Structure 1
Amino acid sequence: MLFFAVAACGQPSDDVGFGGQPPAPPPAPVQPKPVDQRTPVPPQQLSQGAPKVWTQDGGSVVVATGSEGGCSKVHAELVEQNAQQVKIRLVDEIPEPSGICTMDLRYPPLAVQLDAPLEQRQVIVEQIDVKVPKK
């Protein structure tokens, strides 16, 4: 009898428990298009000190210029979007311990997908550094 109980535990189940749905997979990263296929966001729509920001795909994608260097790697996160503003966080991941790194600086374009076109909403860009374990 114990054999059947143990064997049943190893069977795959389509049930996710409590009648819920499995979590949705994260959205695929959006790739920035070449500069000539983007539209600059007017300065009056940008937070003070924001890097260069564009829209693409009819305003439904916002592209901001990140900053990384040496061993660090930057990515963009859409933090908030509502009727008045879109908030984007540029996260520069710095490996810890750093080890030997080059002294170069890179300014990659980073894109985030919006639920609706940007139109006249304000774009707030914040930049943070985060220490991550070295791989």
Structure 2
Amino acid sequence: MKRLGTVVAGALLLLASACAGPQENQEAGTDRSTSASAPTSSAEPDRQPARTPPAGGQPVTSQQLDTTALPQNYPVLVWTEDGGATVGVVAQEGGCGKASVEVPEQTDAQVVVTMIETVPATPQNCTMDLRYPKITTELQAPLDDRKVVLRAEQRKR
């Protein structure tokens, strides 16, 4: 009987190690695989949503961004589409939260973009994940060389 327990324990250990293969986090664009046969590519924009604009989007340079009002480690990616008439951002949401964007101010010098995470007003059971949705909004005029001021806030619904 003792030998059967040892065999079962060994089989369970073998099964557990077989199931614990390389992990991939596609949302953050992190590939933790160390397999030599794993395909690699330097041009996979949809695999790294928090790091690359969508196809056809033109990235806004860091010199044109003001991120001083953002929380530390908040993802920063801003791009334009439609000749600068549309601005896109990567927002952050998690669990029961839902991301959206507002443009409360547009002047000749700057465009203020507020990324909002709306969360439930009452406590709920929610997952503990973070998501980085790409959200776009129309501007009154093309962005051109105006500064983009990024802000983030959380609201309760």
Q: With structure 2 as the length reference, what TM-score do the two structures score?
A: 0.60
What is residue 118 of structure 1 aligned with on the other side? 143
Query: Given the alignment of the two structures, is residue 47 of structure 1 paired with residue 66 of structure 2, yes or no?
Result: yes
C-alpha distance in structure 1 between counterparts of 2:123 and 2:154, whole Å = 13
C-alpha distance in structure 2 between counterparts of 1:57 and 1:98, whole Å = 41
- In the TM superposition, structure 1's runs of 4+ consecutive aligned residues that sit over 3 Å from their partners are none
C-alpha distance in structure 2 between counterparts of 1:48 and 1:79, whole Å = 16
Which structure has more strand as a fraction of its residues? Answer: 1
Query: Given the alignment of the two structures, is residue 64 of structure 1 paired with residue 83 of structure 2, yes or no?
Result: no
Alignment RMSD: 1.3
* 1:96 Cα deviation from its structure 2 partner: 1.7
* 1:35 Cα deviation from its structure 2 partner: 1.1
Q: Give CA deviations for 1:15-45 in whole Å, capped at 9, x if unaligned.
A: xxxxxxxxxxxxxxxxxxx712100001000
* 1:98 Cα deviation from its structure 2 partner: 2.7
Q: Give CA deviations for 1:49-103 in whole Å, capped at 9, x if unaligned.
A: 5621000011000001100000000100011111100001111101021311011
What is residue 93 of structure 1 aligned with on the other side? 118
Query: Given the alignment of the two structures, is residue 35 of structure 1 paired with residue 54 of structure 2, yes or no?
Result: yes
Q: Which amino acid aligns with 1:35?
A: P
C-alpha distance in structure 2 between counterparts of 1:71 and 1:130, whole Å = 12
Do the aligned residues in 1 keep the contact of 2:65 with 2:148 (CA within 8 Å)? yes
* 1:115 Cα deviation from its structure 2 partner: 1.2
What percentage of residue pairs aligned between the two structures are identical? 39
* 1:48 Cα deviation from its structure 2 partner: 2.7
Q: Which amino acid aligns with 1:103?
A: M
What is residue 47 of structure 2 aligned with on the other side? none
5+ residue gaps in structure 1?
1-33
Which structure has more helix as a fraction of its residues? Answer: 2
Q: When the two structures are aligned, how many residues end up with a matched partner?
A: 99
Query: Given the alignment of the two structures, is residue 103 of structure 1 paired with residue 128 of structure 2, yes or no?
Result: yes
Q: With structure 1 as the length reference, what TM-score do the two structures score?
A: 0.70
Do the aligned residues in 2 keep the contact of 1:71 with 1:98 (CA within 8 Å)? no
What is residue 77 of structure 1 aligned with on the other side? 102
